[in-house]
Structure 1
C-alpha cells in the first residue's frame, strides 16, 4: 500500500485560473427542492486540529439527494439537451417545457459512468425529463449505491474493471439518441464536463455569499477532494483570488492521479483499478478540462489512507455532520498531514462535506450509528 505523502505544487499560478461563473444559479433555483445547504461549525474538529475554527459546508441533503453532484449533473444535462434540440441557453426554457419537447422524440437516453453520486444525479434528471438513463458502474460498487441509482429509474450496467473502464464504455455508447453526461473529459469531449464544473459554482457562490456577509470567516485553508478534478476546479475558481487562503488537494493513496500528474508536469494515467473506500475519488486519470485550473490553483496535494477517511467520518459525525467517506476526504487530508501543512491557532478551516452516507452499512460500522438504508436515525 502506498504511503501518504505531501506534494508541494511547482505549477501553481493562480493568475491563470478561470473566473467562477454564476449562470447556473438561476437555473438551480428553479429546480424542485432547491435551497442553499447549511454551513455549520465543528468545534470538536477545531480542537483536534488545533486551529481557531472549522466550518463545514454540508452537502448531505442537496435537493433531496445525498450529494452536491446534482448541481453539476443537472446543469450539464440541461445544456446538453438544449444543444441537442438546437435551442440557445438563453431561451428561457424550464424543465417542464423541455420535458414536453422531448416527448416528441422517443428513445432518448442519458448515459453516464459513475462511482455513485454523479450517476444517480444524472438518473434523477432523466426521470424529471421523462427520458431513459443508462448508468455504467465499476464492478466493485457496493450494492447500496447501485440500489440508489436504480431507485431513480435508471438501467444499470456493471463494467468489468474500475471507473476509467466505465468511462470508456460510456463513450462507446454515444450517438444521436444517447447523450453522455460525464464529469470528466477526454479528446473531443469537453463541453458537458465543463458545464458540470459550472454547475458546481452554485455551491461555491453560496459559500462566498456567507463569507461576504461575515456569517463565516474567510478561510485560511480549504482542502478539496480531487477525483477527476471537476469539484476541485470549481473550488479553485472560487478561492484563487483569495490571497490568504491556502488550497490543499486531497486524494486516496492508491487513487492519486492528480498528484502523479503534478509530479509529471502533465496529465498521466495511473494503473488501476482503484479500490479505496473513498469510492467517489477512485479515478485513474484527471479530467483534461479540469487540469488547467487544478494544476495552477492548488498550493499542495496530499494523499490519505482509508483509515484517515474513517477517522474523518467519525469526527464529522461527532460534530453533527453525516458524511460519507469521499465527503470526509478533505478533513482526512488535514488529519493525516496537519504538522506538514503547518496548521495552527490562527487558521480558519473550511471543509466541504460533498456527500452524506451513501453506503449506510459502512457508515454505521465506522461511527456506531444506526441509520437505515433511507438514512433515517
Structure 2
C-alpha cells in the first residue's frame, strides 16, 4: 500500500526543527563517535548497483551499506552510544567531563553504579550494551517474545542483563519504563513519548552521520543539487528516517530529494500516522520477519520531522523483503554482492514494489531518469535467520563480495 503525504513541504528547513536536530549537532556527534572502539574506521561503503538499476529501469541505484559500520552489524551503532554520551554529560554537568575520555572508559569509577535500560528488537539493545560496557555503566535490556535467542545471545555477550517478557515490542517498552522507575535506572530508548524526548533526539541525531557520509562520498558541496532524486528509508518508530531526512532537508532546503518511508504491512504505524495526520499506532499484528521494523507505535518526536518531509509512506510484505535480500546477495547478478538483513533490505524492497507498477511509479515520480539511494541498515545480525531466508550463509555472500572487489 502507498499513500502520498499531502503535508510534505518543499521549503527551507524550519527553524523550529533545527532547534531540535541540526547538521551542526550531527557533526559534533559524528566527531565523538569516530573515537569509539566499536566503530570501524572511515565511512561505510556506498555501493553502486548498475545491473540492478537497469533491471528496475532507473538511471542509478546506490546502497549505503551499514552492515559494515561496526562489529555490531547495524546502523544502530550510531545512535545508542551518542545518546549515552550526551545523557551522561547532562547528568554530571559540574564535572566538565571530556566526551572522548568518556568514550574511552576513563570515567568507569564514576559510572560503575549507573544503570541504563532499554527495550529492543535486537540492534538498539546490542549497541547500548556495547556502549555501556565501553563507558563503564551497567545495562539491562528488555526483550519481547519475538526476539530470537540468537539476538539475545549477541546482546548478552556485551555484559547486559537480559529481561524477557511474553508480549510484543510495545509491551517491552512499557516494561522497561516500569523497571526503570522501580529501580532508579535510566531509560535509553530510540522512541519518544510524553515527557521523554531528549534521549530519542540524541539517538536520531547520531544517524545523521549516514547522510553526512553519503554527501561527502558523492562530492556534493553546499548549493549543489542533490545527487539523488529519491531516498528510501526504513520505518520502525521513525528515528532513522527522521535523522537522515532532517540532514538532507537542512542541506538542500526546498531542493531536497523525495523521501519514501517503507515499513511492514503488519507494522504500519507510520503509514497510519500519514493517513491520520498525527503520530499513531499500527493496525496489524506487528509480528514481521523484519524484526527491526516490527514497531507498533510511531515516535511522536520523529513524526514532527516526518510529517513535513516524507513525500510518501508505503508498506511491504515479508516476502517482498526476502526477495530484496536475495537481489542484494547477488547470486546471479553482475553487481557486487551485499549482505542485507531482513530490515536492511526493506528500502530496496519498497523500490522494487513501486517499479513493478506503472501507477505507483507515476505517483512517486519514479522513472528511467531516477537516481535512487537506499540504506542497507543491517547485515546478518541473526546469521541462522539469514541463511534460512536467503538459502546460503552470509559468509558465502561475503566471499562473493570479496571476489568481486578483487577482480
Change (3 A) 1:34 1:110: farther
Q: Distance in 2 between matches of 1:59 and 1:101?
A: 30
User: Normalised by the size of structure 2, how large is the TM-score?
Assistant: 0.85
Gaps of 5+ in 1: none
The residue matched to 1:94 in structure 2 has which SS? helix
2:368 and 2:283 map into 1 onto residues whose CA distance is 40
Equivalenced residues, count:
370
Distance of 1:198 and 1:280 partners within structure 2: 19
Of 365, 379, 383 in structure 2, the residue corresponding to residue 360 of structure 1 is: 383
> Which is worse superposed, 237-246 or 217-226?
237-246
Q: Which runs of 5+ in 2 are unaligned?
A: 331-335, 401-407
Pairing 1:149–2:177 present: no
Residue 306 of structure 2: aligned partner? 294
Is 1:221 the equivalent of 2:230?
yes
Deviation of 1:94 (Å):
1.8
| C-alpha separation in 2, matches of 1:126 and 1:115 | 18
The CA deviation at 1:108 is 1.9
Matched, 1:11 2:7: yes
**Aligned partners of 1:131 and 1:271: how far apart in 2?**
37
Alignment of 1:161-180 (within 5 A): 161-175=167-181, 177-180=184-187
Which is helix-richer, 1 or 2?
A: 2
Offset at residue 91 of structure 1 (A): 5.1
The 1-side partners of 2:258 and 2:194 are apart by 31
Cα distance in 2 for partners of 1:242, 1:327 equals: 28
In 2: Cα distance, 1:291 partner to 1:254 partner: 19
**Per-residue displacement from partner, 1:309-358 (whole Å, max 9, x unpaired)?**
00111111114110101011011111112231233220111111000011
Equivalent residues of 2:234, 2:347 under 8 A apart: yes
| 2:278 alignment partner in structure 1 | 266
User: Which structure has more RCO (C-alpha within 8 Å, separation ≥ 6)?
Assistant: 1
- The equivalent residue for 2:405 is none
Cα distance between partner residues in 2 of 1:150 and 1:14: 45
- Note the alpha carbon deviations across 1:249-305, whole angstroms, 9 max, x for none: 101001010110111111112356510101111111111111111111011011000
> What SS is found at the alignment partner of 2:387?
helix
Greater mean deviation of Cα atoms: 252-261 or 172-181: 172-181
Instruction: Please report the RMSD computed on the Cα atoms of aligned residues, expressed in angstroms.
Output: 2.3
Q: TM-score, normalised by structure 1?
A: 0.91
**Higher alpha-carbon deviation: 146-155 or 115-124:** 146-155
**Which residue matches 2:123?**
117
Change (3 A) 1:255 1:97: closer
Counterpart residue number, 2:28: 23
